[in-house]
Amino acid sequence: MTTTLPALRSEHRLTQADLAQRLGVSRQTINSIETGRFEPSLTLALRIARHFGRPVEIIFDLDED
């Protein structure tokens, strides 16, 4: 799965810790999502999308292969 979360977070001038606090998750979870090690649940993905006011498919997409 690919994600545009790092770019979106930078655009909003948020650190990983800031975003983690706003979403009620750990900073390591945000880091792992951004580096592709951890795929969030649908609930968390939708919460992230809602937080940034963007459709979830803009933030998360499946790999081409």
Partner 1 sequence: MYEFTMGGLWFRWSALDRTSKWLAGPSLAAAGLAPLPGAWITGLRLGRGESLAAPLDGWVGLWMVGWLVVSGLLWWAVSRRQDEMFNRIQNWTIGMASSWAMLALVIWALLARASVVVPVSPIGIILCFGVAFFVFWFIAVKRWA
Q: Which residues bind partner 1 (CB under 8 A)?
A: 20, 24-29, 32, 37-38, 40-41, 43-44
CB of 5 to partner 1, least distance (A): 14
If you write DSSP's letter for every residue of 16-59 in order, what string do you get? Answer: HHHHHHHHTS-HHHHHHHHTTS-PPPHHHHHHHHHHHTS-HHHH
**1 vs 11, which CB is nearer to partner 1?**
1
**13 vs 37, which CB is nearer to partner 1?**
37
Torsion of CA 53, 55, 57, 60, to 10 degrees: 10
**6 vs 25, which CB is nearer to partner 1?**
25
